[in-house]
Amino acid sequence: MRLRRGWVTRLGKAGQTPQCSLILVAAALLCLFTFPTALSAKHRSTTKSSPSDMEEETRQRLREHGWWPTRGDAARHEYAGSAACAACHEIESASQPGTSMAHAAEPANDSVVLRNAPLLSSQPGDPSPFQTTIRREAHGSEYTVVRGGYAMRGQLLWAMGAGTMGQTYIVDADGTLYEAHRTYFSEIKGLDPTPGQSDKLTENMEEAFGHPLAATDAASCFACHTLQSSVKGQFDPARALPGVGCESCHGPGAKHVRAMQNNQLDEGLRAIFTPSSLSPVEKNDFCGACHRAPLDVVAIKAFLPINVRFQPYRLSHSRCWSKPDARLTCVACHNPHEEVRHETSFYDARCLACHRSRDDERASATATVAACKVADHQCTSCHMPKYRVPSMHGSFTDHDIRIVRAGEPFPL
């Protein structure tokens, strides 16, 4: 989802209502105005001792030689498909297809959301003078926006997003691709404005229908949510494969498969990309190819409060990251081949890889950083709070690990 608008509110302790949003709205508005300078001043680049320790924008990474996620210049025959990997990499192949990442897109006909809700209409309280309907028919789903005696129709092509929070539709109306103006949100089990699009009441039928996708926007949308949407640099969404798959991260694998089948180990290893050899900063940027690398966020100048969605950016602001370290890269806490773990206790060991525990005042050989005086478990519940993003009807975990003081505004 392109992000231009919105603000965040801090969630209370699990289950409580969000704090007074008026103050937060005021704070958010302030951020919108002060954002560009505030952000550039605040963004701290990490220690730069060698080139691999330098943060880069994704578009810069893509200019360099070698594999990087969202690259679309390989030919179709260079890909083997995720199913081919399963023959030799059973462990990753058993769990990865079940993750939200693997379901980051579906052809609209396969959308579980649409199958379970064959008729979706604007919310009863929707103030828009336009009525939006998504209706599942035998031949596919139709998207209709009506006002008075006028209607604009299109065919749903793709459903973007697994639906953890929501699902946004890519609609074809007379050969033009639109990002629909209404998105399905799981929390309300209904339609509401698509984040990033204007939520102002419009009198204009096309605006109420959606946002026509410029070729570059469409290509990047598919590059993050599908596989093989661009081949040899040509955007070809009709043949994209749904979701994030093995080759989204490891690069085209046909040559690796052939070599390994022929027991040519060295050649096989050279033909596949493994992120495990990247430096901590590169690893953060690697996931950031889709989750937005720190410098991508600085470059987009996206409205500030929603930057809680951009974990690589948030993490890089944390004092824990003042010296980038393999114990705090994305993969230290998230196995990219498995679904995210929701139990708070799962993450304690990750913190205690660096921080001493409260009882053990002597620094161990590895855990050398200050201990917490307040608690010795459930670290993330206090130091990685969740913030609600109203436009998403859901909340995100702040990856700027820090001491959170009551009443303090969301730090930018």
Report 185-224 residues binding ligand HEC (CB under 6 A): 220-221, 224
Is-contact 108 161, C-beta < 8 A? no
Computed on alpha carbons and rounded to an integer, the radius of gyration of the chain in Å comes to 23
Smallest separation, CB 201 to ligand HEC (Å):
22
Candidate residues 156, 157, 298, 351; the one interacting with ligand HEC per rule CB under 6 A: 351
Residues numbered 223-262 forming contacts with ligand HEC, rule: CB under 6 A:
224-225, 244, 246-250, 253, 256-257, 260-261
Residues numbered 329-348 forming contacts with ligand HEC, rule: CB under 6 A:
330-334, 336-337, 339-340, 342, 347-348
Q: Which of 398, 393, 399 is nearest to 1 (CA)?
A: 393
Closer residue to ligand HEC in complex, CB, 22/370: 370
Smallest separation, CB 150 to ligand HEC (Å):
26
Residues numbered 360-389 forming contacts with ligand HEC, rule: CB under 6 A:
369-370, 372-384
Closer residue to ligand HEC in complex, CB, 22/238: 238
Q: Could you give the count of Cα atoms lying within 13 Å of 205 in the half-sphere of its Cβ?
A: 12
Candidate residues 28, 287, 297, 304; the one interacting with ligand HEC per rule CB under 6 A: 287
The rounded Cα 408 to chain-centroid distance in angstroms is 26
Of 12-20, 38-46, 144-152, 317-325, which segment contacts ligand HEC by CB under 6 A? 317-325
> What is the amino acid identity at position 358?
R
Q: Does 161 bind ligand HEC (CB under 6 A)?
A: yes
Greatest Cα pair distance in the chain: 76
- What is d(CA 52, CA 58) in angstroms, rounded to the nearest whole number? 14
Residues numbered 68-127 forming contacts with ligand HEC, rule: CB under 6 A:
69-70, 80, 82, 84-85, 87-89, 92-93, 96, 100-101, 104
Is-contact 168 160, C-beta < 8 A? yes
Token pair, residue 317, equals 């602001």
- What is d(CA 379, CA 279) in angstroms, rounded to the nearest whole number? 26
Q: Does 10 bind ligand HEC (CB under 6 A)?
A: no
Smallest separation, CB 100 to ligand HEC (Å):
4
Q: Does 349 bind ligand HEC (CB under 6 A)?
A: no
Q: Which long-range contacts (CB under 8 A, 24 or more apart) does 17-23 make?
A: 18/388, 21/390
Closer residue to ligand HEC in complex, CB, 48/59: 59
Candidate residues 55, 179, 192, 285; the one interacting with ligand HEC per rule CB under 6 A: 179
Residue with tokens 């946004």: 168
End-to-end CA distance of the chain: 20
Exposed/middle/buried for residue 221 (C-beta within 10 Å: 0-12, 13-18, 19+): buried
Smallest separation, CB 126 to ligand HEC (Å):
19
